[in-house]
Homo-oligomer: A and B are copies of this chain.
Amino acid sequence: MKFAVIITLKKDVLDPQGKVIEQTLQNMGINSLKNLRQGKYIEIELNESDEKKAKSAIENMCKKLLVNLIIEQYKIIKI
């Protein structure tokens, strides 16, 4: 069973890396850009056939290691 975890900074947290990418794109002449934010993407494959159990295992991984819950939020998607 395969899942994608998308980890992004919370809305009110400053994203300096995203700002740098945004400015670079603007300096390259792209004017339609309004906003850009960067995050992490993790693809996880599990040996687990029960979707509910698999999802809770991934929730557990997020809380224990992958996500800094103070400044980040996450979304789990089955793929």
Contact between A45 and B41 (Cβ–Cβ < 8 Å)? Answer: no
B32 engages A48 (CB within 8 Å) = yes
Q: Kindly state the interface size class of chain A when it binds its partner.
A: 20 to 34
The chain B residue with its CB closest to the CB of A24 is B65
Decide yes or no whether A36 CB sits under 8 A from chain B: yes
Q: Number of copies of this chain in the oligomer?
A: 2
Closest chain B CB from A2 CB (angstroms):
8
Contact of A38 with B41 in the complex, beta carbons under 8 Å: yes
Cα–Cα, bound, A45→B34 (Å): 5
Which residues from B are CB-within-8-Å of A18? 42
0 or 1 for each of A31-71: is its CB under 8 Å from B? (1 = yes) = 01111111111111111100000100100110011100000
